[in-house]
Amino acid sequence: MDAKHDALAIGPVLKFDGPNHVWYEGKRLLYCAGTDYHRLGFEPEVQESVQQALHQQGLGAGGSRVTTGNNALLLELEATLAQFFGVEAALMVGSGYLANLVLLQAVRQQFDVVLADAQAHASLMDGVRAVGLPVEQFAHRDSQDLERRLRAWQGKSVLVVTDGIFAARGEIAPLDEYWQLTQNYQAQLLVDDAHGMAVLGTLGRGTVEHFGIPFSEVWVTGTLSKGFGVFGGVILGNRQLIQQVVQHSAAFVGHTPMPVPMMAGALAAVKFLQQHPSRVTLLNKRALEAKQTLRDAGYAIEITPVPILSVAFPEKDRVEAFRQYLLKNEIFPPFNWYPGAPAGGHFRFVVTSAHPQEQIDRLLETITRFLQGHF
């Protein structure tokens, strides 16, 4: 099967050329897309740690964590993550998608029903269904609908699940409202903060920090493949919760951890952000400025510190015209139909803390020229 056929079946075929450029269809293009919001995978200390671990320990973890795969790097990474997020304990699993299943298997017996945001990530919904819990979906980002359903289930044990940031358009869940409702109705809140970790909050602790919610009062899952730029899923909580997961999750016991070099890279990436919290501040500043620029150009966009810029057009011919205009200006056109995208798809741009300012300016000037018809 050739690359073009693969691209039609899956997505565009890209080859990175440094942190901010890709080769696409034979052209070297500016890359303002993806989910590596700080491009930490290109930081020299992160890459050096990966290379050192590769030479010293090889690739594979060598077994499940309950047999021979409980590498010392994982323990150091978990301790560093607990410190980074200000929680009692952290547990690494093979991927962010797996983290929700691992946690839900361990706590399944504690709940009668799950209430899920209508656009909760597939990993949450798959996890809930896999463990056999009844589930109801409440309207997207609608705390009033959530309260109606909590009231209907009053007296039962309820788990509320949501993304912190919804990946497609970068919408922030009204987590403060969800959390207050779970407090009022004695429910438990689980947040998949894959796109909030290392992105929101003064210290990069995510959506929970952004809203000032105590980590001790919520459960959080996430990934190190987005803001931290490496790989691996994580569960955050108190020691009792983490011990419960280790003892009662078949998925945790049965799966092989991430490759050893990725453990080292993840550890280096977390330490890097601990030492450089200004990268998070810069990311938020750039997100706010970029969205304000688009709004000033007449495009309706919510002004938030999330670095995702969703640009959509209802007319198919305008979508193609914009795609060609981006290519003409040597910018990769990040068009997709990822779940949660507007009907008909959208261009999901991203500004990062690693882009030189002139590259961000070039992106925004190109978008605004097209929006205003000056091309």
Residue 18's CATH number: 3.90.1150.10
Task: Identify the domain boundary among 275, 297, 326.
Answer: 275
The answer to whether residue 37 is domain-embedded is no
Residues in the chain predicted with pLDDT less than 70, given as ranges, are 1-9, 374-375
Other C-beta atoms closer than 10 Å to the C-beta of 294 total 20
End-to-end CA distance of the chain: give it in Å, rounded: 38
Structure tokens at 285: 């500043």
Distance CA 39, CA 33 (A): 11
Residue 104's domain is classified under what CATH number?
A: 3.40.640.10
For 234, the enclosing helix (H) or strand (E) is strand 233-237
The answer to whether residue 179 is domain-embedded is yes
Q: What's the sign of the alpha-carbon dihedral 110, 115, 117, 122?
A: positive
Other C-beta atoms closer than 10 Å to the C-beta of 87 total 21
For 158, the enclosing helix (H) or strand (E) is strand 158-163
Task: Identify the domain boundary among 224, 254, 275.
Answer: 275
Please say whether the beta carbons of 232 and 239 come within 8 A: no
The answer to whether residue 39 is domain-embedded is no
Please say whether the beta carbons of 22 and 326 come within 8 A: no
213 plus 333 within the same structural domain: no
Please give the model's pTM, rounded to 2 decimal places.
Answer: 0.95
Structure tokens at 133: 């819990």
Query: Percentage of the chain surpassing pLDDT 90?
Result: 93
Q: Which amino acid is at 84?
A: F
21 plus 91 within the same structural domain: no
Domains: count for the chain: 2
123 plus 11 within the same structural domain: no
Which residues have a Cβ under 8 Å from the Cβ of 128 and sit 6 or more positions away?
104, 114, 116, 135, 161
The stretches of 249-315 forming alpha helices (DSSP H) are 250-254, 260-275, 278-296
271 plus 284 within the same structural domain: no
pLDDT at res. 1? 40
229 plus 339 within the same structural domain: no
What are the residues facing 116 on neighbouring strands?
A: 137, 161
The answer to whether residue 81 is domain-embedded is yes
102 plus 80 within the same structural domain: yes
- Phi/psi for 165 (5° steps) reads -120, 130
Distance CA 142, CA 352 (A): 29
Please say whether the beta carbons of 168 and 340 come within 8 A: yes
* Cα–Cα distances in angstroms (integers) from residue 285 to residues 31, 180, 194, 306, in the given order: 19, 28, 20, 9
Which residues have a Cβ under 8 Å from the Cβ of 220 and sit 6 or more positions away?
85, 87, 190, 191, 193, 206, 208, 235, 236, 237
Distance CA 178, CA 185 (A): 11
* Cα–Cα distances in angstroms (integers) from residue 138 to residues 141, 193, 249, in the given order: 8, 19, 27
pLDDT at res. 10? 82
Please say whether the beta carbons of 15 and 23 come within 8 A: yes
- The domain of 318 spans 3-31+278-371
Which residues have a Cβ under 8 Å from the Cβ of 280 and sit 6 or more positions away?
198, 199, 200, 201, 202, 203, 204, 273, 353
pLDDT at res. 373? 87
Task: Identify the domain boundary among 275, 310, 345.
Answer: 275
265 plus 287 within the same structural domain: no
Distance CA 94, CA 254 (A): 11
